Structure 1
Amino acid sequence: MGKFTFVAVIVMMALAARLHAAEDFESVWQAYLSEHEVRKSIFNETHARTKKHNSKKGVTFQMGHIAFSVLTSEEKKRHLGALKPVRPNSVVRGVARQALPCSIDYRTDSCLPPVESIVLRDQGGCGSSWAHSATAVVEFGKCKKCDGTALDLRLIVDCSREEGCSGGWEQEAWQYLASNGGQTDDSSYPYTTETRTCVFIPSDMSIGAEISSSDPVEWVAWQDPTAMMTVLAGGRIISIFMQLPESFFSYEKYLLDAFFLSRSYAHAMNVVGYGTLDQNDYWVVRYSWSEGWEAAGYVLVRRSVDLCMIE
């Protein structure tokens, strides 16, 4: 091949590379624009729904824009992860009734750190709400029982069941922990937003809370939420299941009361108190999204009507 022929080939290759790069840029750019158009469309629907809701008279809660405003239904579901509760087959023990205070609120309790301060506890795109809810119960119970120091325990996403990021049950988590001596500190076994192979080795890890047994308790019917209130009055918090309405992902403040809307999202959370607002009874509910939420990690949910299966 002659010198000029060789140079021509090099020039042609360079031009081809530039054209290919230009095509790559253009295709990536178009994909970028397309993705943003999709997000804009979702945001527009959310905005219209939010504006319509807030303009109604007599609504009990306010909606606004948060991190979920541009997510698809499937993307929202990846931030959930609860499976519908199954009534236990074994004999259950009842909850002893007692005189109850008018309200209880553990949101400022030293055993329940602010949700936004627990950055590593944001469940992210892993359907592990069941593990967050189960762990919160253990952490709070151990803290109350001992010296009042808040705990940071390992979330047992990848040990008590396979594909833990695809959902689970809190009682499975507690049963696993009871069978293995307890729950480790998070520093011994950090949480990730992906399901991994379980490497829980109690003898090699620091156990933050020893657990000897896990027994089913009373199955509470919505006609009698007193048992739940009694548990709270006894210095414990509760793991609950909810079938969330679409409006939950735009909740901003006040009292959530949306049982009349569709409920297509299953989520596990914790009830950490109860009270009354403008003659409306409510539960104080704590969730596991530490960022992008306007209500500092909590939502008030109407009490005694089994809203979204909370009771």
Structure 2
Amino acid sequence: MGKLSLLVSMLMVSCWAVEIQVEDVDTAWQKYLAEFPIKIQTKSEIWFRKSIFSETHNNIAKHNANKDATFEMGHNQFSVMTEDEKQQFFGALLPATPVNISLDVSSRQVATSVDFRTSACMSPVRNQGGCGSCWAFSATAVVEFQKCRKSGFVRVDLSEQQLVDCSRANGCSGGWEHEAWQYLASNGGQDLESRYPYTARAATCTFQNANSPGAQISSTTPVQWIPSGDTNAMMSVLTGGRILSIYMQLPNSFMNYRSGVFNDGACVANNAHAMNIVGYGTLNGIPYWVVRNSWGSSWGASGYILVQRGVDLCMIERYSRTTNVL
């Protein structure tokens, strides 16, 4: 074969490969729009969102092609968002290291595994929307779960909006779970969602102390910090029937998690997020935490993610804490 013929053949193969790649992205884009409809006003907006999607699609394909990967990625609501838009879905503030550790669980025998995802007291996964209120959802989940277990396994739906509006200024710009519990302990407790519904925006506090609260917090020990990095103590709390609030600095790949044990250590300080640990176990020899998120049930594995346990991945084991419900 002459040099010219070889060059033509190579160009044809190259063009064919590019065409196939474009077709793959186009097909994936149409499937994405069918599953995650987005309101697009102009052609320029369509191309802008599709360009973000294309980059996300290529990153997902590259990751999933890695045979050594311990988790799988997939498309979701974040596949077409800019980095600035994604920032609205975080909201955790870096906690200060606690002075006093009041939790003593050293004598408790921990279970081999715990998983409260299917517990009668585990409320459906919430969606914080474009408000940096992850801290309020994490704090509320702990209170709801504990209140349910102390009330004969009767589930209760409490108001995250009360924490957003009342426990600090502009609760959509971030906060701390322990501060939320301290507020509840000093201000009569947490209202019901039915009386104080979530709006995904900060507003004026309308909580009425005269109402019978949905749950009350101990005023003497509203916050119990787990010793930093003490995974055995964390497992002990879960074995004892409580869940934990945690802080993470999320890697970019976290946004498109789908399944498996997440182990990406490329932490991003700006992606600070509060969630809950609701269990632990081992998958394919890798120990993990069961983590509950607040991005809705269409994200991740029905709203949950398995995060590698025992390596303090992106600070997940550094600032864990829980509360005491009366």
TM-score interval, smaller chain: 0.7 to 0.9
1:95 aligned residue (104, 112, 131):
104
Q: Which amino acid aligns with 1:93?
A: S
Larger radius of gyration: 1
Corresponding position: 1:252 with 2:258: yes
Q: Which residue of 2 aligns with 1:295?
A: 301
The answer on whether the counterparts of 1:242 and 1:268 sit within 8 Å (CA) in structure 2 is yes
Determine the C-alpha separation between the residues in 2 that align with 1:149 and 1:143. Answer: 5
Note the residue ranges of structure 2 that are not aligned, 5 or more in a row.
1-39, 318-326
Q: Which string of whole-angstrom CA distances, capped at 9 and with x for unpartnered residues, describes residues 57-77 of structure 1?
A: 210000111111001111111
Q: Which amino acid aligns with 2:261?
A: L
Where 2:63 maps in the other structure, the secondary structure is helix
Note the residue ranges of structure 1 that are not aligned, 5 or more in a row.
1-29, 116-120
Change (3 A) 1:60 1:193: same
Shift of 1:123: 0.7
Q: Which string of whole-angstrom CA distances, capped at 9 and with x for unpartnered residues, describes residues 181-229 of structure 1?
A: 21111111111111001111110x341112232444344332x311110
Q: Which string of whole-angstrom CA distances, capped at 9 and with x for unpartnered residues, describes residues 69-117 of structure 1?
A: 001111111011111111224x3313322111110000000000332xx
Shift >3 Å, 4+ stretches: 260-264
Q: Which residue of 1 aligns with 2:249?
A: 243
Change (3 A) 1:51 1:186: same
Where 2:165 maps in the other structure, the secondary structure is coil
Q: Which residue of 2 aligns with 1:67?
A: 77
Shift of 1:291: 4.7
The answer on whether the counterparts of 1:53 and 1:63 sit within 8 Å (CA) in structure 2 is yes
* Aligned length, in residue pairs: 274
Range 253-262 or range 146-155, more displaced: 253-262
Change (3 A) 1:304 1:50: same
Determine the C-alpha separation between the residues in 2 that align with 1:263 and 1:47. Answer: 24
Shift of 1:263: 5.2
Determine the C-alpha separation between the residues in 2 that align with 1:143 and 1:93. Answer: 24
Q: Which string of whole-angstrom CA distances, capped at 9 and with x for unpartnered residues, describes residues 140-178 of structure 1?
A: 011111110111001111110001001100011001100
Q: Which residue of 1 aligns with 2:282?
A: 276
Change (3 A) 1:294 1:283: closer
- TM-score, normalised by the number of residues in structure 1: 0.84
- Written as runs of structure 1 = structure 2, the 5 A alignment for 1:149-298 is 149-155=154-160, 156-203=163-210, 205-213=211-219, 214-222=221-229, 224-260=230-266, 262=268, 264-298=270-304
Determine the C-alpha separation between the residues in 2 that align with 1:294 and 1:83. Answer: 23
Over aligned residue pairs, what C-alpha RMSD do you find? 1.6
The answer on whether the counterparts of 1:185 and 1:206 sit within 8 Å (CA) in structure 2 is no
Determine the C-alpha separation between the residues in 1 that align with 2:148 and 2:235. Answer: 20
The answer on whether the counterparts of 2:191 and 2:215 sit within 8 Å (CA) in structure 1 is yes
The answer on whether the counterparts of 2:135 and 2:176 sit within 8 Å (CA) in structure 1 is yes
Q: Which residue of 1 aligns with 2:127?
A: 122
Determine the C-alpha separation between the residues in 1 that align with 2:141 and 2:226. Answer: 20
Identical pairs, percent: 54
Q: Which residue of 2 aligns with 1:140?
A: 145
The answer on whether the counterparts of 2:181 and 2:223 sit within 8 Å (CA) in structure 1 is no
- TM-score, normalised by the number of residues in structure 2: 0.81
Determine the C-alpha separation between the residues in 2 that align with 1:114 and 1:164. Answer: 22
Q: Which amino acid aligns with 1:95?
A: D
Shift of 1:232: 0.4
Determine the C-alpha separation between the residues in 1 that align with 2:297 and 2:216. Answer: 30
Determine the C-alpha separation between the residues in 1 that align with 2:119 and 2:55. Answer: 38
The answer on whether the counterparts of 2:246 and 2:275 sit within 8 Å (CA) in structure 1 is yes
